[in-house]
């Protein structure tokens, strides 16, 4: 369905015609016919991401306000057309990839445009010699990985949401995959990109392995959440996939012992691809079905063709042992590998229309990060802030570095119904973010800020740091049309 360009024509006299042009119709007239929709089903789908609160409100029947239209561009030039029109008419635009964000990054108000990049899903080039793929931003993660594997390559970027997220969303939300110990996060793959700035100007940053030509503009867009530009394609570094993974697992007497053990494992430079460690609750959740006897568990996975594999595994086991880690066998890792993305479906069933745990129940995750020297304090602070509002809290180390680690909390809240649980949810987040910032951590390791955490960004970045970001935003998007309210409150 397309609106007409002239909504009304008025005869003002024999020589003058005043044409009242509907801005939406004007936009439609500048785009290919199949790029524009105002069908209600498309508007509803474009109106939210996987943010717990958005899903809760939808199933509760308090639908989000619908955008005026969803545009599905096929080219960078289509995106430029939309952003030129948006600045002209001062209409906000929200870029949308897979809509799998969990912080309300995609949440248009009435009258806004959703720029759905899902039609821009082609591999533009595969430079096999450099192991670099040039891919459009709307490419789905699982499909990209399948195409790379068919060419004996892997991106090595495996977020749990790989089946429901896109390349552009990974860049814009600063994504980290489960294999970050071996492959790094999205910024480590990002070698070049094309993006459209507010007003429709196109910026192309050539692919290079590294550059000292000023501040890294590619990185400026990592985590920018559609507020500084719309990414339309990217060059990503890949590698040869291993034939499989060799797994080790360790039981630890406490979660603090897991922290100490994995800190030493990551510092042993063993070349592990996966390093993850769980508290008692998350150990039971992840490994209970395979007969885990209780206590805390950690897994370490290596590419099975890694040179010196056995010596590396021995070094990791020794590092774990120094903190009380005892071997649990290879089964834990294989079990985790098989079930590593099950949470996507579970989350959909709990927060979607099925309401698996019944009305009044909400689940969410919070992933913070901090240095090893303050990690215990950070973990205890966030855990007790969440525990004051919730029925259950679990935690694991999902991304481990020589200097520190992420802490990934999963929590379950219960209200008397879907309305009362919302207040509890907001109070839990507020207290947990404050506890995190007080303990010196960052409030998000890889989910980003969205609308959920935007009110706390200034507290994390400090007045001057926040002022810098605000100045960049104002310079790049003076009309303020790129995803207002996300990232920057």
Ligand X SMILES: Cc1cc2nc3c(=O)[nH]c(=O)nc-3n(C[C@H](O)[C@H](O)[C@H](O)COP(=O)(O)OP(=O)(O)OC[C@H]3O[C@@H](n4cnc5c(N)ncnc54)[C@H](O)[C@@H]3O)c2cc1C
Roughly what angle, to the nearest 10 degrees, separates helices 52-60 and 342-351?
40
- CB closer to ligand X out of 296 and 363: 363
| Identity of the residue, 168 or 277, whose beta carbon is nearer to ligand X in the bound complex | 168
Minimal CA–CA distance to 395: which of 286, 316, 292?
286
Interacting residues toward ligand X by CB under 6 A:
49-50, 94-102, 105-106, 117, 137, 159-161, 165-166, 168-170, 172-173, 175-176, 225-226, 230-231, 343-344, 347, 446-448, 483, 486
Only one residue has tokens 């960052």, namely 442
* Shortest distance in whole angstroms from residue 167 CB to ligand X: 8
Q: Which helix (H) or strand (E) element contains residue 300?
A: strand 296-303
In the complex, least distance from residue 338 CB atom to ligand X, rounded to whole angstroms: 16
Query: Closer to ligand X at the Cβ: 49 or 78?
Result: 49
* DSSP letters spanning 145-208: HHHHHHTT-B-----TTGGG-BHHHHHHTT---TTHHHH--HHHHEEEEEEEETTS-EEEE---
* Maximum C-alpha span of the chain: 92
Closest distance to ligand X from the beta carbon of 195 (Å): 7
Cβ at position 115, least distance to ligand X in Å: 8
Shortest distance in whole angstroms from residue 43 CB to ligand X: 16
Tell the smallest beta-carbon distance from residue 309 to ligand X (Å). Answer: 26
CA distance 238 to 15: 64
Nearer to ligand X by C-beta: 168 or 441?
Answer: 168
In the complex with ligand X, the residue whose CB is nearer, 268 or 298, is 298
List, in sequence order, the alpha helices (H) in 190-279: 217-221, 255-267
Kindly state the tokens that stand for 267.
């510092």
Report how far residue 310's alpha carbon sits from residue 304's, in angstroms, rounded to the nearest whole number. Answer: 10
**Closer to ligand X by Cβ: residue 79 or 265:** 79
Q: What are phi and psi of 268, to 5 degrees?
A: -80, 0
Least Å from the CB of residue 315 to ligand X: 27
Nearest residue to the partner ligand X, using Cβ? 169
Comparing CB distances to ligand X, the nearer of 179 and 432 is 179
């Amino acid at each position: 369905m397309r609106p007409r360009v002239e909504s009304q024509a008025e005869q003002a006299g024999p020589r003058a015609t005043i044409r009242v042009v509907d801005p939406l119709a004007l936009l439609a007239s500048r785009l290919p016919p199949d790029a524009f929709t105002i069908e209600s089903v498309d508007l509803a789908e474009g109106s939210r991401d996987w943010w717990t609160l958005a899903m809760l409100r939808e199933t509760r029947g308090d639908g989000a306000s619908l955008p005026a239209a969803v545009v599905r561009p096929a080219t960078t030039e289509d995106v430029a057309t939309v952003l030129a029109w948006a600045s002209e008419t001062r209409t906000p635009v929200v870029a949308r990839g897979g809509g799998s964000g969990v912080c309300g990054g995609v949440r248009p108000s009435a009258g806004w445009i959703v720029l759905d990049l899902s039609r821009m899903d082609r591999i533009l080039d595969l430079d096999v010699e450099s192991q670099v793929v040039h891919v459009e931003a709307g490419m789905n993660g699982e499909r990209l990985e399948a195409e790379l594997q068919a060419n004996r390559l892997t991106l090595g970027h495996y977020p749990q949401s790989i089946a429901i997220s896109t390349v552009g969303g990974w860049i814009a939300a600063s994504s980290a995959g489960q294999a970050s110990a071996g492959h790094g996060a999205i910024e480590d793959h990002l070698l070049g990109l094309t993006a459209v700035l507010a007003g429709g100007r196109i910026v192309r940053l050539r692919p290079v392995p590294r550059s000292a030509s000023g501040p890294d503009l590619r990185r400026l867009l990592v985590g920018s959440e559609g507020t500084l530009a719309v990414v339309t394609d990217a060059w990503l570094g890949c590698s040869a996939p291993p034939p499989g993974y060799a797994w080790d697992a360790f039981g630890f007497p406490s979660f603090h012992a897991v922290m100490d053990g994995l800190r030493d494992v990551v510092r042993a430079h063993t070349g592990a691809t996966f390093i993850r460690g769980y508290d008692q609750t998350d150990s039971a959740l992840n490994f209970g079905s395979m007969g885990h006897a209780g206590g805390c568990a950690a897994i370490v996975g290596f590419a099975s063709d890694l040179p010196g594999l056995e010596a590396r595994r021995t070094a990791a086991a020794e590092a774990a042992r120094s903190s009380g880690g005892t071997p649990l066998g290879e089964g834990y890792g294989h079990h985790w590998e098989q079930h590593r993305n099950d949470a996507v479906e579970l989350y959909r069933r709990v927060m979607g229309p099925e309401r698996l745990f019944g009305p009044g129940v909400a689940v969410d995750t919070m992933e913070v990060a901090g240095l090893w020297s303050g990690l215990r304090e950070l973990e205890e602070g966030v855990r007790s802030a969440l525990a004051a509002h919730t029925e259950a809290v679990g935690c694991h180390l999902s991304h481990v570095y020589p200097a520190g680690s992420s802490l990934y909390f999963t929590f379950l809240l219960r209200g008397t119904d879907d309305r009362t649980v919302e207040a509890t949810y907001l109070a839990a987040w507020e207290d947990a973010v404050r506890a995190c910032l007080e303990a010196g951590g960052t409030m998000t390791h890889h989910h980003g800020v969205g609308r959920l955490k935007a009110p706390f960004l200034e507290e994390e970045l400090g007045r001057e740091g926040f002022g810098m970001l605000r100045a960049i935003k104002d310079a790049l998007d003076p009309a303020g049309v790129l995803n207002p309210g996300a990232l920057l409150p």
